[in-house]
Amino acid sequence: PHFPYAMACELRGNYKDWGMDFRTIAKSATKYGFLEKQFCLFCKVGDTNYERDQMANPDNYDADQRAIALEHKKGSYFWVDGPYDIFDNFIMTMWINILEQRSILTGCKWRRSWSEAPNGVIPKTGWENDDYIPHAFKIYGRVTKDGEVTVCGQLSNGEGIGFGGIFYFPREVINKEFTFKALTY
């Protein structure tokens, strides 16, 4: 299921503003739920006839879509935190919740050069002075790339970037750049 951005905008009270804080996203998931991909306007962002405000406007979601989202309503959420560095806290949170296959919602200052990372593998260095935009995304697993454990992340930008829409972050990048909060349901 996908996050219906418009429902968080409804909680915030204004769909014209860009971006969203994690607390409002979490509250939206516990009040409205998530919408399955085939019913989600967000998934049409790449369509040239599609405007951002259409996706963000709560009035564009009908009663049927809202009912479908309620089927995926979350009971609660918790912040991802712990005694380790950010990388290990992510790994431990996913491990503790492995049976539920819970993803982590987080974000960082997304470096524009990362979108072109070969095979989606984010380099440890060399991007520090690149332009960035704040971007939220999900962390959902870990894999070994070039002999090192990396954390798997998926953005909302579709499959045309990274490795089919997937990116692999090494410990150094997670610990330095992932300064936004992180949560899971």
Helix (H, G, I), strand (E, B) or coil at 106: strand
Cα–Cα distances in Å, from 88 out to 92, 95, 170? Answer: 6, 10, 11
What's the pLDDT score for residue 53? 78
pLDDT tens figures, 134-162:
888 899 999 999 899 999 999 877 788 89
| Single-letter amino acid code for the residue at 85 | D
**DSSP collapsed to 3 states, 113-151:** HHHHCHHHECCCCCCCCCCEEEEEEEEEEEEEECCEEEE
How far apart (Å, rounded) are the C-alpha atoms in residues 178 and 159?
Answer: 22
Which residue would you say has higher pLDDT here, 90 or 1? Answer: 90
Question: What sign does the CA torsion over 171, 175, 179, 183 have?
Answer: positive
What's the pLDDT score for residue 115? 92
pLDDT tens figures, 39-91:
776 565 555 445 777 778 888 888 998 899 999 898 898 899 999 999 999 99
83: Cβ contacts below 8 Å, ≥ 6 apart:
none
Residue 133, burial from CB neighbour count under 10 angstroms (0-12, 13-18, 19+)? exposed
125: Cβ contacts below 8 Å, ≥ 6 apart:
172
Instruction: Please state, for a pLDDT cut of 90, what percent of the chain lies above it.
Output: 47
Classify strands 78-79 and 166-170 as parallel, antiparallel or unpaired: unpaired
Closest listed residue to residue 2, CA positions, set 154, 178, 161, 167: 154
pTM of the model as a whole = 0.82
What's the pLDDT score for residue 44? 57
